[in-house]
Amino acid sequence: MEDIVIIGAGTAGLSAAIYARRAGKKAVVLEAMTYGGQIINTPDIENYPGIKHISGFDFATGLYEQATALGAEIKFEKVTGIKLSSDGIKTVKTSSSEYKTKAVILATGAKNRPLGLDREEELTGSGVSYCATCDGAFYKGKTVAVNGGGNTAIEDAAFLSSLCKKVYLIHRRDKFRADAADVEKLKAKENVEFILDSTISRLEGDDTLTGIEIHNVKNAVKQHLDIDGLFIAVGQIPDNSAFADVAELDEKGYIKAGEDCRTKTPGIFTAGDCRTKTVRQLTTAASDGAVAALAACSYCDSTEINS
């Protein structure tokens, strides 16, 4: 039997594996795709403390090598559910196997919701971004657009307005889900222009984004904008439906947990972007990984479950 099964080999899951192994626990990490999670395709990370600049691939590879060198086992299997039994043993089921364990850490992350435009994936990292906090600094003094009408879009536009020459805020309606006071503050900024009732219909540029075509949904007029960067802020999609019976989910599907990373089920913890929190970054994912792993280690030490 395992001590700790970690679901997801992103920053949170691999950080948890490092802490679990250093505490002497048997730990297996189960990953549905490839190691590294969301950060893997990002060319530039410049906000991880202690590392001035690194690519997402190198960052993820460093975490993977550190976890495996410490003895963490990483298996590429998608987890489909967890069965609880009265003796406290958890059975983690995957597409091809099952694992009995004392504790589980859910570190399944989240995906950014795409707009679904042609070449969106290809231009991600080359003018298209989903994270103003991560990539805003690359657009200092430039012209950018933010797409979205929720709190994230408004916060992103406000953040970018302090760095960029010009910020367009594009929203498909004329009303916002974001807090009205924040919208008014943003409207008052001289370098921010609102383009409402509009959607983005085309991304332009060869290797790098150079502009977008906008479509007004009320009068069908099309407009072209020259921009250096597009920040898409139309939400994130967590996928925790397989765990809804062992952990409580909020209305968006995030696993409900506080800074202690505990779920409603004793012995099941959660870490990183998949849990309810306000800041979803590498630092907070790594921090959660440490907190969840140490809590899981204490749980293993205090539980009566026999190996």
Ligand X SMILES: Cc1cc2nc3c(=O)[nH]c(=O)nc-3n(C[C@H](O)[C@H](O)[C@H](O)COP(=O)(O)OP(=O)(O)OC[C@H]3O[C@@H](n4cnc5c(N)ncnc54)[C@H](O)[C@@H]3O)c2cc1C
* Active-site choice (3, 44, 87, 131): 131
7/246 Cα distance (integer angstroms): 14
Residue 121 one-letter amino acid: E
* Active-site choice (3, 44, 135, 301): 135
Q: Which is nearer to ligand X, 28 or 107 (CB)?
A: 107
147/225 Cα distance (integer angstroms): 13
Residue 280 interacts with ligand X (CB under 6 A): yes or no: yes
- The dihedrals phi and psi of 298, each to the nearest 5 degrees, come to -60, -40
Q: 295, 267 in Cβ contact below 8 A?
A: no
Residue 134 interacts with ligand X (CB under 6 A): yes or no: yes
CB of 171 to ligand X, least distance (A): 21
Please select the residue that binds ligand X; options are 4, 13, 178, 257, rule is CB under 6 A.
13
**Is-catalytic flag, 135?**
yes
Asked whether the CA dihedral 277, 281, 287, 291 is positive or negative, the reply is: positive
Q: Which is nearer to ligand X, 107 or 154 (CB)?
A: 107
CB of 139 to ligand X, least distance (A): 13
Q: Between residue 230 and residue 259, which ones bind ligand X under the rule CB under 6 A?
A: 239, 242
Q: Between residue 139 and residue 198, which ones bind ligand X under the rule CB under 6 A?
A: none
Q: Quick one: which segment of 102-110, 115-123, 223-231, 252-260 binds ligand X (CB under 6 A)?
A: 102-110
Tell the residue number behind the tokens 């984004």, with chain if given: 209
Q: Is 21 helix (H, G, I), strand (E, B) or coil?
A: helix
CB of 260 to ligand X, least distance (A): 16
Please select the residue that binds ligand X; options are 9, 74, 227, 255, rule is CB under 6 A.
9
Q: Which is nearer to ligand X, 261 or 300 (CB)?
A: 261
126/171 Cα distance (integer angstroms): 22
Q: Is 216 helix (H, G, I), strand (E, B) or coil?
A: strand
Residue 61 interacts with ligand X (CB under 6 A): yes or no: no
99/13 Cα distance (integer angstroms): 17
Other CB atoms within 10 Å distance of the CB of residue 221: 10
Q: Is 154 helix (H, G, I), strand (E, B) or coil?
A: helix
177/183 Cα distance (integer angstroms): 10
CB of 252 to ligand X, least distance (A): 15
24/178 Cα distance (integer angstroms): 46
Please select the residue that binds ligand X; options are 127, 148, 211, 272, rule is CB under 6 A.
272
**Is-catalytic flag, 134?**
yes
Q: 268, 16 in Cβ contact below 8 A?
A: no
Q: Which is nearer to ligand X, 47 or 199 (CB)?
A: 47
Other CB atoms within 10 Å distance of the CB of residue 149: 22
Q: Quick one: which segment of 96-104, 154-162, 175-183, 278-286 binds ligand X (CB under 6 A)?
A: 278-286
Q: Return the structure tokens found at 208.
A: 């790098």
What length does the chain have? 307
**Is-catalytic flag, 300?**
no
Residue 131 interacts with ligand X (CB under 6 A): yes or no: yes
Q: Which is nearer to ligand X, 30 or 200 (CB)?
A: 30
Q: Which is nearer to ligand X, 19 or 176 (CB)?
A: 19
Active site residues: 131, 134-135
Residues lying near ligand X in the complex (CB under 6 A) are found at 7-13, 30-33, 37-39, 42, 45, 47, 78-79, 107-110, 112, 130-131, 134, 239, 242, 272-273, 280-283, 285
